[in-house]
Amino acid sequence: MNGRVSIRIGFPLAYLCAMPGCASHNCSSFISVSPATMPRIATVDERYQSYNVEMAEVTGGKFWRPYGPKSGSASKQNQASSAASGGATPAGMNPDMYEYRPPIDLANSRRIKLAAALAPAYMRVSGTWANTSYFPGSDDAPAARPLGFDGTLTREQWKAVIAFSHAVKAGIVTSFAISPGTRDANGVWTPDQARRLLDYTKSAGGSIAAAEFMNEPTIAAMGGAPAGYNAAAYGRDFKVFYAFAKQAAPHMLVLFPGSVGETTGDWGMASAALPHLNTRDLLAAAAGPSVDAFSYHHYGASSERASGMGLPMTTAEAALSEEWLARTDQTLAFYRNLRDQYESGKPMWVTETADAACGGNPWASTFLDTFRYLDQLGRLAKQGVQVVMHNTLDASDYGLLDENTLAPRPNYWGALLWRRLMGTTVLESGVPIQAGLHVYAHSLRGVPGGVALLVINTDRSAARTFTIPTTGQGYTLSVNPLRSHSVQLNGIELKLAANDELPNLAGVPVAAGNITIEPATIMFLALPEANNSACR
């Protein structure tokens, strides 16, 4: 079918299940939905779908080496730049996993145009390298940065971040340096560097919408914290940070704690070889301040780069499995329980996520990962998560854009359709998640009373059929093979036109009745005439 919407004659689910000899797998293939009566179960931030721009991209530094033979991109000139701007390998990590990259061009017109199409959003400029980056007090960065820092973020580079945020309508989210260079004689964190960054941001016409104290305190040792850093030290430092932030930037949301690696499942990174602090201990030590949102990171596995380190792994064969897709629920359940105990009622933000930590797996840049990307957005919205920041916009294999050409990858096209169709009101579709078929419902963006459905068929061999009572427009993403770097919309390959113009993402007419979604395809359905009162 080439991913096109098709219509099959069928019968309502209840009728089929009453037929003699009806098997459960046959019944699950015929589902009726009622868009008009779907109740509202949550709302999400207007900037729900957001993304990361790694601090290492902004400053230049060592980031995840591309798969395959060494690229040789770290020329002598680049190596010299690396020595000047930093690029130390995170503690405890294999240096062979990294390669130096020069600073990206945030004024690039293609990067701006494609990021702006996802607006409004948040852009998080953080990551492990933000923990150790020095911000100078003048436009002339020192030839040698002070002791206790591994990199330098120049004023010119941060000014480019501010300009990019304006151009693409993205609120800046960040974290601050916490390395030994930020501390007093007693080892206590001081806000001097954070104040310098905030003051300069304001003077340059920018603002920071939200911030975490540091990136991933649960793996503080890897992230450049002082030797022996523990939960008690974190709690002490966070209280200093919180008091400073509320005085120096009262409109900046304080996100907390930004943990990673814990889950209710048995696959979490916290049980791996890396030194790990428990979030519960961090929260207990920092108890007192009331933060604006509870943040955490989710990676269901580590990439193939990290094989041999004792970290959890996955395979391309498992990419559409229910066990794999449900891992995002297990991470949310773990951190939501802690939120309820220590920051009850506070919004939850996922400030970093992708298919796999350490740069993503080789298939992260293909259509195979788009199932995880969109399914994760659907799952988390249903459970009230307010913001989800994909890692990254355009760095490494998990970037929405190719880091060399900035060409959109399949996940970008999925993100663009989500942005254009899925509104901020989350509805209960009435279809429970089941093997092979996931149905998510939101208000239709820009159409009062309209409903948008996201229907995902994760079955690689069987089609799924469901019934809708009203007409609409269908948008089906598909490609064969699934590990393709391109994707088709209703049978037509999506790609940029001349002058980097986005193609017309047009749907095809869909009549009321039975809709079939072919194996291993993703369908958005826009139903402007649903007349759902919760969407007005």
Q: What is the pLDDT of residues 446-492, one digit of tens each?
A: 999 999 999 999 999 999 999 999 999 999 999 999 999 999 999 99
Give CA–CA dist 266/424, Å, rounded: 33
Residue 50 has pLDDT above 80, yes or no: yes
Token pair for residue 93? 């990590």
- What are the structural domain ranges in the chain? 6-41+426-535, 49-59+102-421
Residue 90 has pLDDT above 90, yes or no: no
So what's the pLDDT on residue 137?
Answer: 94
Token pair for residue 439? 């149905």
Q: Which residue has the higher pLDDT, 5 or 184?
A: 184
Matching CATH number, 6-41+426-535, of 3.40.190.10, 3.20.20.210, 2.60.40.1930, 2.60.40.1180: 2.60.40.1180
Domains 6-41+426-535 and 49-59+102-421 share a fold: no
Give CA–CA dist 372/325, Å, rounded: 6
With beta carbons less than 8 A apart as the criterion, state whether 218 and 276 touch: yes
* 117-161 confidence digits (pLDDT tens): 999 999 999 999 999 999 999 998 888 899 999 999 999 999 999
So what's the pLDDT on residue 28?
Answer: 45
Q: Which of 72-76, 251-255, 284-288 has the lowest mean pLDDT?
A: 72-76
> 416 Cβ partners below 8 Å, 6+ apart?
117, 118, 408, 502, 505
Angle, helices 192-203 vs 231-248, to 10°: value is: 30
Q: Which of 72-76, 90-94, 115-119 has the lowest mean pLDDT?
A: 72-76
The pTM of the whole model exceeds 0.85: yes
Matching CATH number, 49-59+102-421, of 3.10.20.90, 3.20.20.80, 3.40.80.10, 3.40.50.1970: 3.20.20.80
Average pLDDT of every residue of the chain: 90
So what's the pLDDT on residue 5?
Answer: 43
Q: Which residue has the higher pLDDT, 91 or 377?
A: 377
Residue 29 has pLDDT above 60, yes or no: no
Give CA–CA dist 246/404, Å, rounded: 40
Give CA–CA dist 5/465, Å, rounded: 11
Q: What's the rounded mean pLDDT across residues 236-256?
A: 98
Give CA–CA dist 322/327, Å, rounded: 9
Quote the distance between the C-alpha of residue 110 and its chain's center: 21
247 burial level (CB within 10 Å; 0-12, 13-18, 19+): exposed
23 confidence band (pLDDT: 50, 70, 90)? very low
